[in-house]
Amino acid sequence: MSRSGEQTALSLLEEASLRRTKPRLLVLQSLLAASQPVTQEQIAEQLGDKTPNKVTIYRTLEALCEAGLVHKAFLQDRTWHFELAHNCSEHQCHPHFTCTACGQTTCLMDMQVPAVKSSHNGYTIQRQRMQLEGLCPQCGQR
């Protein structure tokens, strides 16, 4: 939750022409500080006693998603995990990997995924996402 995080959050809101409200700045800073996708609850927890109302966090995340600043990264146990969109291209996000042994999901930021064609049988394909499943490095060794 650094000074630069605050500045970045401000300019992200500016860029998206969203009003600079306290909850939006806080949620953005929390997302900027996160190293993995986080849930509403994790955001609230991280913000401690200055956290906005639960409903406000949801509505903020929704607004940020709509503006393209944030993505719903993946769903785990009926709970959405959110992340900043700034490492994804318009057409393709990095893949998310879930370990079948420990259940942990990880962003594979540096993995190259081949892009599919932008059209198929009349379907116009604008974005592609990939989920991977297998064993993480910890669970992989026998």
Partner DNA sequence: TATTATTTGCAACTCAGTTGCATCATGAAG
Partner DNA sequence: CTTCATGATGCAACTGAGTTGCAAATAATA
Q: Does 108 bind Zn ion (CB under 5 A)?
A: no
**Nearest distance in Å: CB 101, Zn ion:** 4
Tell me, residue by residue from 2 to 31, as one string, x for binding to DNA by CB under 7 A and - for no binding: ----------------xxxxxxx-------
Q: Does 59 bind its own copies (CB under 8 A)?
A: no
Cα gap 4→46, rounded to integer Å: 18
Contacts for 37 with CB less than 8 Å, ≥ 6 apart: 73, 74, 81, 82, 83, 96, 105, 107
Q: Which stretch in 3-11, 19-27, 42-50, 110-118 sits in contact with its own copies by CB under 8 A?
A: 110-118
The single-letter DSSP state of residue 99 is E
Does residue 82 contact residue 88 with C-beta atoms inside 8 Å? no
Q: Which residues bind Zn ion (CB under 5 A)?
A: 99, 101-102, 136, 139
